[in-house]
Amino acid sequence: MTVIPAHWYNIRADIPLDVPDDRPSPFASGTLRPQLPAKLIRQEMSRAREVPIPAEVLERYAAWRPTPLHRARALERDLDTAARIYFKYEGGNISGSHKLNTAIAQAHYYAAAGATRLATGTGAGQWGTAMVAAGAMFGLETVVYMTGHSYRTKPYRRTLMEMLGGRVVPVEGNLAAALAAALHACEDPGTRFCTGSGESYSLLHQTVIGQEAVAQLELLGEWPDVVVASLGAGSNFGGTAFPFVGAARRGEAPAVRAVAVEPSACPKLTRGQYRYDFTDSSRETPMQKMYTLGHAFATPEIHAGGLRYHGTSKLVSALYADGAIEGAAYGQPEVFAAAVRFAQLEGIVPAPESAHAVHGAVVEALRSRAEKQPRVILFCLSGHGQLDLAAYAEYAGGRLVDVVPDDAEIERSLAQIPQDTAAARR
Ligand SMILES: Cc1ncc(COP(=O)(O)O)c(C=O)c1O
């Protein structure tokens, strides 16, 4: 029987990564202070392989963890592939996605540090829902700044957040703009800013997914050739893939490919640059070295709102720069086609973000067939799409298009990043 891991796993213990320090913003006014609890700061910097999970967090995880690992046999048959496709399902909690794994940990640490209210930004609404739910568990009120597109197209996300006691405020623009609005809310004493999924501690918290999957596959006598997960700010991919990549690096398991799937509308890894940039559009918080399209990138309004982030985690970025992981970008229509096929065959409606991983797994399974290699594929079905049916209706009505930025657009956005922070400060 698989149990919930007693600790989070830190890949920095196994891979000596060059993760450059954050740099202060040349535009910092000094009024915006996220005020991270000391425990989260320590986790952000930690090199320890194992970070114990507090008992209060484990108790909450036990409500839905360990999450199930399924084999997608009907999909395998339909693809006529000898590949064995497994998926880890993270949609079985009130937030409907993996986001609750770190939201609970963060709410626990903020409450312990004396916060009374949390402010955060959300793209598709999954993170906002998770933060409101987790805040309520630890007696915190949560205000969620939601991108206007998702606010309008996902009304039931808003209903769910309000039902759980949260306040939802629409913000026009991308996730960076919503995060900036949440940061400003922290000028109010007692309110702390919670960031979603790009910080190293968020990736750490999400490793419960990969650690459980390692144990579940071991029970079946399996080890994946490839692990696939969708990439937003990074915690879903990091949490799923890092325990596998780390075990292989330690020499305890065979090599594994790890593929981060992003939308072709927001291709930070595959078409962005590895450089210092702002993590939100306030331009006041420290700059991080990451793969980015530029904080001013006008991300097309695709349905996978959680993947519409201009950059990605510095840990994922450092691993990509190191050649330790791979990236792939796919368009909305092919991603939705894979999601509909998956729903019909396997009985779960994927969230549009998770649908990117479904398509990534399908691509790998077809490659396995073409190369006559019966590979083992694991992907993370990071959330369900029962609140995203408006997007599926658009797809069914033939109204879903792919929006791929051209090179000039990306260059224009990248040109707005200060070239060198030290120089920009002078
Ligand atoms: C269902 C789902 N899957 C994946 C992602 C991407 O996750 P991350 O930001 O952790 O990379 C999101 C982000 O909102 C999501 O909601």
pLDDT tens digits, 31-83: 556 588 999 999 999 999 999 999 999 999 999 999 999 999 999 999 999 99
Per DSSP, 383 falls in state B
Query: Distance between CA 309 and CA 277 in Å, rounded?
Result: 13
CA of 184 to the centre of ligand 1 (A): 24
- Is 341 part of a structural domain of the chain? yes
Residue 425 has pLDDT above 80, yes or no: no
Closest by Cα among 408, 395, 397, 421 to 302 = 395
Amino acid at 384: H
CA of 337 to the centre of ligand 1 (A): 19
CA of 304 to the centre of ligand 1 (A): 9
For ligand 1, what atom is nearest to the CA of residue 313? 11
Q: Which class for 273: exposed (0-12), middle (13-18), buried (19 or more C-beta within 10 A)?
A: middle
CA of 286 to the centre of ligand 1 (A): 23
pLDDT tens sequence across 106-157: 999 999 999 999 999 998 899 999 999 999 999 999 999 999 988 998 899 9
- pTM above 0.85? yes
Query: Distance between CA 348 and CA 383 in Å, rounded?
Result: 10
* String of DSSP letters for 43-59: HHH---SEEEPPHHHHH
Task: Band the pLDDT of 420: cuts 50, 70, 90.
Answer: low
Closest by Cα among 386, 304, 353, 384 to 90 = 384
Spell out the residues 6+ positions from residue 115 whose beta carbon is closer than 8 angstroms to its own.
140, 190, 191, 192
For ligand 1, what atom is nearest to the CA of residue 202? 10
Q: Where are the alpha helices (DSSP H) in 307-351?
A: 314-321, 332-346
Q: Token match 């450089």: residue?
A: 275
Rounded to 5°, angle at Cα 210 from 302 and 104: 75
Question: In the predicted model, what is the mean pLDDT of residues 248-254?
Answer: 97
Per DSSP, 21 falls in state P
With contact defined as beta carbons under 8 Å apart, do 144 and 169 qualify?
yes
- Is 38 part of a structural domain of the chain? no
Identify any residues that bridge with 273 across adjacent strands, giving them in sequence order.
Answer: 292
Closest by Cα among 287, 282, 276 to 31 = 282
Query: Distance between CA 325 and CA 407 in Å, rounded?
Result: 24
- Is 241 part of a structural domain of the chain? yes
Percent of the chain with pLDDT over 70: 97
For ligand 1, what atom is nearest to the CA of residue 383? 1
Mutate to test the pocket of ligand 1, among 94, 122, 160, 197 (most ligand atoms within 8 A of CB): 197
Total domains present in the chain: 1
Per-residue confidence (pLDDT) for residue 12, from 0 to 100:
96
**Residues framing ligand 1 (Cβ under 6 A):** 97, 123-124, 126-127, 197, 230-237, 306-307, 351, 353-354, 382-383
Per-residue confidence (pLDDT) for residue 284, from 0 to 100:
79
- The range of the structural domain enclosing residue 358 comes to 59-95+200-425
pLDDT tens sequence across 295-345: 989 888 888 878 988 999 999 999 999 999 999 999 999 999 999 999 999
Question: Which SS3 state, helix, strand or coil, does residue 125 take?
Answer: coil
Per-residue confidence (pLDDT) for residue 32, from 0 to 100:
57
- Is 32 part of a structural domain of the chain? no
Question: In the predicted model, what is the mean pLDDT of residues 91-97?
Answer: 97
- Is 348 part of a structural domain of the chain? yes
Provide the CB-side half-sphere exposure for 378 (13 A, CA).
31
For ligand 1, what atom is nearest to the CA of residue 352? 1
For ligand 1, what atom is nearest to the CA of residue 234? 11
With contact defined as beta carbons under 8 Å apart, do 268 and 288 qualify?
no
The residue nearest atom 8 of ligand 1, judged by CA position, is 232
CA of 422 to the centre of ligand 1 (A): 33
Q: What is the CATH number of the domain that holds 273?
A: 3.40.50.1100
The mean of the pLDDT values for the chain is 93
- Is 13 part of a structural domain of the chain? no
With contact defined as beta carbons under 8 Å apart, do 291 and 322 qualify?
no
